[in-house]
Amino acid sequence: MKIGVFGGTFNPPHLGHAEAVRECIARLRLDKVLVIPNALPPHKEIADGSPDAETRLRLTRLGFEHVKHCAVSDMEISRGGVSYTVDTLRRLRERYPSDKLYLLMGTDMLMCFERWRDFEEILRLATLAVFARRGGERKELFRQSEKLRLAYGAQTRFVEFDALDVSSTGIRALLPERGGADVLAPEVYGEIIKRRLYGAKPELEWLRRKAYAMLEPKRVAHVKGCEREAVRLAQRWGADVERAREAAILHDITKKEKLDEQLRLCAKYGILLDEVEKREGKLLHSKTGAAIAKYEFGCDDEVYWAIYWHTTGKEDMSLLEKVIYMADYIEPTRDFEGVDELRRLAFSDLDRALELGFQMSIDDMVRRDIRPHERTLGALEWIKKGNRQQR
């Protein structure tokens, strides 16, 4: 059997890694490849802000789960300490005494190979399989390969292909700038955003696609309008525009769920409910939506509470909470008596707009013989007592 061995930090694993493994499997006719994240790399320090080894292992499993004939091993992480390739190959040789091992590596690793620990033993244990970009520095690579062959009897195979121009270092820089989704497997990117690894912020188009897929189609226009107004209001009143976008995009993601599902989500996320909320599913989507925004999309507490209170409002709302409440109320698809005045006030006197909005909500519920929620009543009284934002 022909077995490839592919080690690295995988910090994070990206589509280029998976592409290289597929090419090696096809070109070298490998029966399988073992992908082995290291615990501590011997040739460099783990970048500041990187996830721990167990998290990198999980990301690597996600990154290679759709690559056929490929398995991710925890042998170096479970061993702990500095991960020397020679130690791993020794163990694999014991496990596969009659199989041919190929050590998969990039061209930069080949060029510094003589600095590896016990590199001569590595050459006795495995054939080097080097990813080589088509049109790259072929002469230099072949010169190095020939040097290793003549001096140490090294066997080297080159796998040339049009490699994806991507690196883990570059991706780590992209993630906090709302980039990176196009060079990571969807499962890897989703996990990074969920846990906000590497200081990641979600690409807005990615976030919109995810949110819109959770909505009834007719609600998409409302969410788009809410995002637009949230941005405008945030800019007008000095709220965080990026948080306003996230909150607006995600604020209705559980809106379509019925009462039974809303209650299930409340139980799952430990959301405490009053007696009115237990009967009124329409009041719950703000709470369950906030929970999913936090625990599935990694949103911070400011975004969480802005979504949480966007239906009832409450006393002493934060600026972002006010922005999302009003954006939801005045977005362009809304059409009811008084909405034009509400829109005018939202950009001239935000607290006066909130007061009017609370009053209109209460009046509408009373007309429909529905008891207004205590939070909305309290919010109206709070703002009527002169608790207004100073400008």
pTM tops 0.85, yes or no: yes
Cα distance between residue 8 and residue 13, in whole Å? 9
Task: Tell me whether residue 201 is in a domain.
Answer: no
Is 10 in the same domain as 84? yes
Do 181 and 327 lie in one domain? The reply is no
Q: Is residue 275 assigned to a domain?
A: yes
Question: Could you report the per-residue pLDDT of 306-365, keeping only the tens digit for each?
Answer: 999 999 999 999 999 999 999 999 999 999 999 999 999 999 999 999 999 999 999 988
Q: Does residue 30 sit in the same domain as residue 82? A: yes
**84 and 161 housed in the same domain:** yes
**Residue where a domain terminates, one of 154, 186, 218:** 186
Decide: 257 and 265 in contact? Cβ < 8 Å. yes
Q: Evaluate whether residue 195 is within a structural domain.
A: no
Whether 158 and 265 map to the same domain: the answer is no
> Would you say residue 222 has pLDDT above 50?
yes
Residue position matching structure tokens 């080159």: 158
Q: Which domain holds residue 269?
A: 209-384
Six-digit token pair at 183? 């060079």
CATH number reported for the structural domain that contains residue 53 in this entry = 3.40.50.620
Sequential DSSP letters for 111-148: HTGGGSTTHHHHHHH-EEEEEEETTS-HHHHHHHHHHH
Residue 378: inside a domain, yes or no?
A: yes
The Cα 34–Cα 32 span in angstroms is 7
Strand order in the sheet with 127-133: 70-72, 32-37, 2-8, 100-106, 127-133, 156-161
- The CA distance from 365 to 377, in Å, is 12
Phi, psi of 374 (to 5 degrees): -60, -35
Phi-psi region of 145 (alpha: psi -120 to 50; beta: other; left: phi over 0): alpha
Phi-psi region of 127 (alpha: psi -120 to 50; beta: other; left: phi over 0): beta
Mean pLDDT of 187-205: 98
Residues 98 and 246 occupy one common structural domain: no
Distance CA 8, CA 136 (A): 22
Q: Are 18 and 185 in contact (CB under 8 A)?
A: yes
Flag whether pLDDT at 12 surpasses 60.
Answer: yes
Residues 62-100 pLDDT 10s: 999 999 999 999 999 999 999 999 999 999 999 999 999
Q: What's the number of domains the chain is made of? A: 2
Q: Is residue 261 part of a domain?
A: yes
C-alpha distances out from residue 277 to 284, 285, 286, 364, Å: 7, 10, 11, 18
Regarding whether 157 and 243 lie in a shared domain, the answer is no
CATH number, position 278: 1.10.3210.10
Under 8 Å between Cβ of 163 and 19: yes
Domain shared by 251 and 181, yes or no = no
Residue 73 lies in a domain: yes
Query: In this structure, are 235 and 176 located in the same domain?
Result: no
Query: Which residue type, as a one-letter code, is found at position 127?
Result: T
| Calpha distance 198→193 (Å, rounded) | 9
Select from 145, 171, 186 the last residue of a domain: 186
Sole residue written with tokens 């690579």 = 141
pLDDT tens digits along 257-315:
999 999 999 999 999 887 777 777 678 999 999 999 999 999 999 999 999 999 999 99
What is the structure's pLDDT at 368? 85
Pull the structure tokens for residue 292: 């999913």
